[in-house]
Structure 1
Amino acid sequence: MSEDVLYAVECGVATLTLNRPERMNTISGPMLDSLAALLVQADRDPEVRCVVLTGTGRAFCAGLDLNAATSGEGIGSSGAAMSATIDLRDTPPTVLHAMDTPVICALNGSAAGYGMDLAIGCDIRLMAEEAKMAPAFVKRGIVPESGGTWLLPRLLGWAKAAEIIFTGRTLGAAECLELGLANAVVPAAELPARAAAMARDIAANAPLAVQASKRMMRMGLDERFDTHVQHVYLQLLPLFRTEDFREGMASFLEKRPAAFKGR
C-alpha cells in the first residue's frame, strides 16, 4: 500500500487519511490504487461499522496530480490514456458507491475537481469552516469524471447542479451547508472529534441494519416505489432472524443500551 493513504481502525471506525500534504493531497496513480483497496478492505471487515475519510494538511484533496499529468506520466496524461486500459470498477468513486458501510467525509480543507467528486460520493460530509468545494472541471477542459454529473443533480436538483457544474465556481463551506452538500460546518480544530463522534454513533447501531438501510437507499435511486417497497420487505425478513434484532428488542424493553454483534 502507498504511504500516501493512512489506515487505522478503532472502536469499529476505520479512518482513511489522504497523506500527501506537500501536494495538497492530489491523487497519484499509486494513491488511487491504495485508496480503492483500503475502502474495499474496510467494507469487507466485519469489525468496521463506519468509515471516516479525511486528509492531512490544508487541503482535503486538490484533485488529480496535474503536474504529473502534464508531464506525460500521471493520471490523465496522453501517455497514460494511450497505454493503459482503465477498469472503472476498481476506482474509489465506484467503490464508494458500492459500499454498504457508511462513509463520513471530514473535509479538513478544500476539495477541488476529483477531490470534490470523492467528497460528494460519501454518505455524509462535515466541513471545516475554511474548507471549500471547487468543481473547476470545465475550467480545465474536462467534465466531472468521477461521479459528479450523476451525484450533483440527485443531491441538488437539475437547475442548481447545472449552475455549479457549468460555471465551475467555488463554493464556500457556508454555501455548501445551505445547499445541503454539507451536513455540518465546524471549526477546523473540532472537525476530527465531530467526525469521530458521529462515526461512533453510527457504529453503535446494529451494523447489518445500517448496511441494509444504505443498500436499500442506493437501490431506491433507480427503482419505482412499488418495486422498492417489495425489495425492502425482502431485506427485512432475514433481519428478523438475526441476534441483533433480538438484542434490539430486548434492550428497548429492558431500557438499556444495546450491544450489537453484527450477526
Structure 2
Amino acid sequence: MSTNEVLYAVSDHIATITLNAPERMNTISRVMLNDLSAALLRANEDTDVRCVILTGAGRAFCAGLDLREAKPGSTSGIANDNSTRTTLDLRNTPPTVLQAMDKPTICAVNGGAAGYGMDTALGCDIRIMGQSAKLAAAFVKRGVVPESGGTWFLPRMIGWAKAAELIFTGRTLSAQESVDWGLANLVVPDAELQATARAMAAEIAANAPLAVQASKRMMRMGLNETFPDHVHHVYLQLLPLFKTQDMAEGMRAFLEKRQPDFKGQ
C-alpha cells in the first residue's frame, strides 16, 4: 500500500484494517479504494491471519464515496479519466474482494456508515456497532443505486419487503435499529467497540482456521446451490479436513478436556 489512507496491523492472528482519513469522515477516494483492496487481499493470503477486523479512524466508519473525485457518469463513483466506460473490472474492488475472502471479517462500525460505507459494512460477515453508529442507505436521495453490493446483500439479509423499504426510502438506521432489522449483530458503548470486536475476533481465531475458512466457503456456495448439491460439496470439503493436524488436535483436546492448540495445518 502506497499511502496511509488505509492502516494495516496484525497481532495474535487478527488483522486490523483501518480506514484512515478522519478529516473527511473516511470517504472513499481512489487511493483508499485501491489500498483497501490491497489490504483485504493481503490479509486473506497471510497464513498467520485467522480473522479480519475492518474499522475507521475518527468519528465515522465511512461516509461514502469522496464526492470531490466523483463525477456524473462514472461507473465506480471515482473519476479515473475522461473516457466513458462500458465495463467494470470487479476483480480487485473491495466489495468483490470481501465477498470472495475465506478469512472471517468483522466490521467494527465506529460511526456513520453511509452509501459505499454501508455496503462495505454489509459485505463483512459480522457487524458490531458502537452506540452512536448509523447505517445510512441514502443512495436514492443522491440519485444513484446502491452501487457496491447493497441490492444483492439486503434482500438476502432481511427479505425483499424490508430491503425495499430501506432502499426506496433511503432511510438512516440507528445502531439499535440496525440490530432490530437484522443488519448488525450487537450494539456496544462506543468506548467498548474495539475491545468487543477484538474479543470476538480472538474467539474466532482460537478455532481451527482451515475449518473456519471451509465453513465460510460452504456458506457462500450454499447461497446459490440446491440442498442436495450443497450436502455433496460439504462432504467433499470435509474429506481433506480429516487429514489435517488440526482435526487430530481438536479430537485429542476434546478427549483430554483441554483447549486445543491449532496450527492451521
**Matched ranges for 1:10-49 at <5 A:** 10-49=11-50
* 2:89 alignment partner in structure 1: 87
Give matches, 1:52-67, under 5 Å.
Answer: 52-67=53-68
Question: How many angstroms does 1:74 deviate by?
Answer: 11
Give the TM-score normalised by the residue count of structure 2.
Answer: 0.95
Partner of 2:132: 130
1:229 pairs, out of 212, 228, 231, with 231
1:41–1:78 CA distance, 2 compared to 1 (3 A)? closer
Give the deviation of 1:78 after TM superposition. Answer: 6.6
Superposed displacement of residue 69, structure 1: 1.6
Any unmatched runs of 5+ in structure 1? none
Contact kept? 1:134, 1:169, Cα under 8 Å: yes
**Structure 1 residues 32 and 185: CA distance shift in structure 2, 3 A:** same
**Mapped partners of 1:256, 1:105: distance in 2:** 31
Residue identity (%): 67
> CA 1:148 to 1:72, structure 2 compared with 1: closer, same or farther past 3 Å?
closer
Q: CA distance change for structure 1 residues 79 and 211 in 2, over 3 Å: closer, same or farther?
A: closer
Paired residue for 1:256?
258
Q: In 1, are the aligned partners of 2:69 and 2:79 still within 8 Å (CA)?
A: no
The structure-2 alpha-carbon separation of the partners of 1:71 and 1:20, relative to structure 1 and needing over 3 Å to count, comes to farther
Question: SS in structure 2 opposite 1:162?
Answer: helix
- State the distance in 2 between where 1:240 and 1:261 align: 15
Alpha carbons 1:109, 1:131 under 8 Å: kept: yes
Partner of 1:241: 243
Deviations 1:9-35 (A, max 9, x none): 000000000000000000000110000
What's the secondary structure of 1:127's corresponding residue? strand
Match of 1:150 among 139, 149, 152: 152
Greater helix share, 1 or 2?
A: 1
Pairing 1:208-219 to 2, within 5 Å after superposition: 208-219=210-221
Give the C-alpha shift of residue 180 in structure 1.
1.3
1:207 aligns to what? 209
Deviations 1:76-109 (CA, angstroms, capped at 9, x unpaired): 2677472666411210000000000000000000
How many residues are aligned here? 263
CA contact (8 A) 1:29 1:75 kept: no
How far 1:67 moved relative to its partner? 2.2
Match of 1:51 in 2: 52
The residue type paired with residue 194 of structure 1 is T
2:222 to 217, 220, 223: 220
